[in-house]
Amino acid sequence: ALLEAEVAEATGREFTLGEMDLELLPALRFVAHGISLAGPNWGSEPQMLQLGTLEAVVKPTSLLFGPPQIESITLEDVVLLLETDSSGDLNWSLDQGVAGAGKGAGEQPDESGLSRPMPVKLGKVTISHLLVKRRQPGKAEQQLALDELVIKPEDAGVMELAGSGKVRSLVFDVAAGLAQSSEELAINPLQLRIGSSDIGGNIRLDSDGFRLTRVDLTSKKLDLTELLGEEWAGATSGDG
């Protein structure tokens, strides 16, 4: 109940935890079922996020000597609704419940006097059965379904990503290396098979991961009509 109240205060949303279990040996293992985070009052569904199972394994000695080391995180049966209303409000734009709510025990001051997150070493992340729904006024709902996504650290700070699923009606498989610096997020190499298309190369984004800065892609086979739809592909070919 305390954790539920703290998350609700920090986000301004109702947060629910179902059954929980904690094991101390041989590793610190936390398992929770029936997790949900409410959406805003204007949302089309009561819950923005539903999570069937969360399991986290932490190296106990790292809590004593630091930095905290999460050996693995597993998420199962995840449903995420991303929604925009007619005025442009986003359901994932969370309120800060109280002033300073973002400056908790997990943060420490830097030289400027501002708080910064305590570093955490993160190991393997596995997501099974993820459904992302995107809803916008006047547009058909878009869905991304992941059967499984695995992200794990490799050498030299590179994260290895591999996953499979379906976007719209197209089955896809993806494999990539992820490397993040203070200036950019690099996805290199990237190998994506979606529908009948086969795409490879690398993509670079800004440090926040939202703005493309460079794209170098090659394709062994590319079907724009299949990927983008007949109307969009037709308009693109007509312009060229």
Over residues 173-227, the pLDDT tens digits come to: 999 999 988 888 899 999 999 999 999 999 998 876 668 888 998 988 888 788 7
186 DSSP assignment:
E
| Predicted pLDDT of residue 87 | 93
Q: Rounded to whole angstroms, what are the CA distances from 84 to 40, 48, 150?
A: 11, 12, 29
Residue 188 and residue 179 in contact, taking contact as beta carbons nearer than 8 Å:
yes
The per-residue pLDDT of the chain, averaged, comes to: 84
Distance CA 224, CA 237 (A): 10
Phi, psi of 227 (to 5 degrees): -75, -45
Over residues 60-88, the pLDDT tens digits come to: 888 888 888 999 999 999 999 999 999 99
